[in-house]
Amino acid sequence: MTDLVVDHVNFAYRETPVLTDISLKLRPNSFNLLVGPSGSGKSTLLKLLSGLYPTFSDGSLTGKLTLDDYDIHDIVPYQRVAHIGYLFQNPTRQFVMRTPFEELRFSLENLQVKPEDIEKRITDAMESVGMTAYMHHDLLHLSGGEKQKVALATVLAADSEYLLLDEPFANVDPIARLQLIDVIKAYQNQGKTILITDHDWSGYTDAIDDIFVMDSGHLHNALTDEREQILAKLPNQPAIHTSLPDEKEGIITLDSVTLNSGARTLLSATTRLLPEEKRILITGPNGVGKSTLLSALVKLYPYGGTITYHKENIAKRKIAKHVQDIALVFQNAEQQFVAMTVQEELTQAQTLSHFPEFWSDDAITRVLTQLNLHGLRDHIVYQLSGGQQKKLQVLLMLIIGTQTLLFDEPLAGLDSISQQHLLDIIADLTTRQHQTVIMISHQLHAVTDWFDYHLQFDNQELNYVGDAL
């Protein structure tokens, strides 16, 4: 067993400390859970342990971060990966090749595994995650859960002693989650050491040996009391209170709409209407097709059947005109910026606003202050943090005031206070501007009473659900 040492590690990103004086000791063959609020530095620690940081960041590192006395990031990747395996939070992020087979082969060839052993290791790893049937499928068309299984298989095939998992189930449906947990437990039983970050440890509470708590860049080992407290606090799915729509007309209607990804059906013929001036939530497992549906509504993804907007077939509407009425707040905020500084962006949005009389300079300043962006007016938008970019992007789209706004995970990556602020602002402004809101979100704690209607996207179906009267 190689010796992984984390001793007085500090990591700063553009002079902002992310990790402060971190020391960590993992017991051999243990199962470790790392908890903490989002943005507290958990991912950064894992990336440092995997050796990807500081190479793939602009951050600066001090302290001792070694594997058998070698600096982790200095070890050549093919040897490092043989000792420390790392699974990204977002499975699409880590694929290089086209099919699972090619991906595993690429990795094993890098690790200089003997050619005669490669095929067996691929088969074994794919078998352990139950994905042999997908060996030669196109990775692009797999669901979120399937992708994560392949990603895990790639890491398992490397047979590393340490396995680092960064919220591995964040993009995975409940069934796949349980399957993945079993695979990881079995891997630990082969004498491996696991370190996992997660918000929800239901299903593997018994397996956990040590718990580490990260709080604003400080790490400590949870002792008996705190440990019990954490383990007892299983995040329960909050109940969403919505009613079923009784409108006869919708601003958007779907008529026998189908969606496909390659040969896979995402949505089978569905007829639904989405009422005007309401807030509609869309939930469902990742990779099920929620984002694809929003893309189809703005004509960025091909679909079958008919979609209408204000009774007009959107296929017949020019895209430039169409998106003046229905706009998507993209998951990736950078895609939506058109200028350089925060102020330039705001001015641009102000000139094009559908509600120019409302969006005075004072009004903008007021909202900026609420969002904690006030001091950043002359900052370059591409230099802002992810959370700041997201808040700015949402604000810009609200200033434009497009009649229907589609939000793709606007709360992801924000701390809970920011989430609440942002939701309040969206609620206030969209009501004032008579906008229709359609939102994909997994941050259900923040939104329990916020929505009028709730669409569930699952098993190729899109259905309204509701409990309130």
Q: Which of 97, 91, 93, 108 is nearest to 150 (CA)?
A: 91
Distance separating alpha carbons of residues 266 and 458, to the nearest angstrom? 9
Stretch that binds another protein, among 25-33, 34-42, 113-121, 434-442 (CB under 8 A): 113-121
3 binds another protein (CB under 8 A): no
- Interface mask toward another protein for 290-309; x: CB under 8 A: --------xxx---------
- Chain centre distance of CA 127: 27
426 binds another protein (CB under 8 A): no
Q: Which of 22, 26, 103, 144 binds another protein (CB under 8 A)?
A: 103
Q: Which residues pair with 458 in a beta bridge?
A: 461
Distance separating alpha carbons of residues 7 and 54, to the nearest angstrom? 16
Q: At what angle do helices 115-128 and 100-110 cross, to 10 degrees?
A: 130
Distance separating alpha carbons of residues 467 and 451, to the nearest angstrom? 12
239 binds another protein (CB under 8 A): no
> Shortest gap between Cβ of 24 and another protein (angstroms)?
20
Distance separating alpha carbons of residues 16 and 67, to the nearest angstrom? 27
| Residue whose CB is less far from another protein, 338 or 468 | 338
Among positions 327-386, residues that touch another protein (CB under 8 A) are: 327-328, 330, 334-336, 338, 340, 348-349, 352, 380, 382-383
> Shortest gap between Cβ of 429 and another protein (angstroms)?
17
Q: Could you tell me how many residues of this chain bind another protein (CB under 8 A)?
A: 68
**Contact indicator for 11, 56 with CB cutoff of 8 Å:** no
402 binds another protein (CB under 8 A): yes
First to last CA, the chain: 60
436: left (phi over 0), alpha (psi -120 to 50) or beta: beta
**Contact indicator for 46, 195 with CB cutoff of 8 Å:** yes
Q: Which of 27, 28, 55, 424 binds another protein (CB under 8 A)?
A: 55
| Residue whose CB is less far from another protein, 114 or 311 | 114
16 binds another protein (CB under 8 A): no
249-260 in b/e form (b: 16+ CB < 10 A) is: ebbbbbeebbbb
| Residue whose CB is less far from another protein, 213 or 395 | 395
> Shortest gap between Cβ of 417 and another protein (angstroms)?
28
> Shortest gap between Cβ of 392 and another protein (angstroms)?
12
9 binds another protein (CB under 8 A): no
Query: Tokens 């099919």, residue?
Result: 99
Among positions 79-98, residues that touch another protein (CB under 8 A) are: 79-82, 86, 88, 93-98
Stretch that binds another protein, among 17-25, 73-81, 126-134, 306-314 (CB under 8 A): 73-81
> Shortest gap between Cβ of 389 and another protein (angstroms)?
13
> Shortest gap between Cβ of 350 and another protein (angstroms)?
11
> Shortest gap between Cβ of 185 and another protein (angstroms)?
23
Q: Report the C-alpha dihedral over residues 245, 248, 251, 254, rounded to 10 degrees.
A: 90
What DSSP string runs through 400-463? Answer: HT-SEEEEESTTTT--HHHHHHHHHHHHHHHHHTT-EEEEE-S-GGGGTTT-SEEEEEETTEEE
* Residues near another protein (CB under 8 A): 50, 52, 55-56, 58, 67-68, 70-71, 74-82, 86, 88, 93-98, 103, 105-115, 118-119, 140, 154, 158, 298-300, 319-320, 323-324, 327-328, 330, 334-336, 338, 340, 348-349, 352, 380, 382-383, 396-397, 400, 402
